[in-house]
Amino acid sequence: MHVVNSNGANIPALGFGTFRMSGAEVLRVLPEALKVGFRHVDTAQAYGNEAEVGEVIHTSGIPRADIFLTTKVWVDKYRHDHFVASVDESLKKLKTDHVDLLLLHWPGGSDVPMAERIGTLNEVREAGKARHIGVSNFNTAQMDEAVGLSEAPIATNQVEYHPYLDQAKLLQAARRHGMSLTAYYAMANGKVPSEQLLNDIGARHGKTAAQVALRWLVQQQDVITLSKTATEARLKENFAIFDFALTREEMAAIRGLARPDGRIVNPAGLAPVWDD
């Protein structure tokens, strides 16, 4: 697997995401994901499964230093004292003294000034509780603001990204700051496996449409993608995306699937005004 260098953070390009996974599912599937070879694990306070993620990693036999672990601070914890306490709680659940990446989960849903949020993020990093810091679901203006306010480099912006959603402006902004984009919802809520173009391209490479979509993401410079499945059989499929490459024409054809209504995740009160 290749690694993306994002302002000094060496992030495995393919991660295992745990959004909407129950604790029981994490306990069942994450051990298998680690056996397959996943070494980048993504969770969040809001997912309610940090304790199970921590338990699996702790008992996996894999050195903690070999796993890139991400969690996120929820919007109701952005006030300084709540922020610090919530990170300590996350670390306790995760059975570790640090995470590799700590993100602000959404830009909305809080009246805490961005300067305070970024300041506390830096403070937590300085204390050794997070090796790297980042943001999630920020638009380009918010990325610029976060970078301007932060003493430490901002490593990534975790956002919805798949073939139906054009994120060229956001990716351009990320590159300008030395950041990466970490893609979630890569399967576009189940649309990808039935997309004819992706199936046709996959047939040429002996791959599935899902593998083509994941490959399309990680083949872009400075893009990381999270894959998620509660089906153990699909773990190997999702992981097997580094033994083939898409042609320039195939990359462009997939990019052409993007459409104006391609965004899926847009919760009122949490989401920003997105870039056109």
Total length of the chain: 276
- The CA distance from 151 to 13, in Å, is 25
What local confidence, expressed as pLDDT, does residue 233 receive? 82
- Average pLDDT per 10 consecutive residues for the chain, totaling 276 residues: 94 98 97 98 98 98 98 98 98 98 98 98 98 98 98 98 98 98 97 98 98 98 95 92 98 98 98 94
> Which CATH architecture is the domain 10-187+218-243 placed in?
Alpha-Beta Barrel (3.20)
Main-chain phi, psi angles of 269, to 5 degrees: 90, -20
Torsion of CA 36, 41, 43, 49, to 10 degrees: 40
Which residues are identified as catalytic? 47
Identity of the amino acid at 35? K
pLDDT of residue 231: 87
pLDDT value of residue 144: 98
State residue 232's pLDDT score: 82
The domain spans of the chain are 10-187+218-243
Is 162 assigned to a binding site? no
Task: Name the residue with tokens 């070494």.
Answer: 39
pLDDT at 30: 98
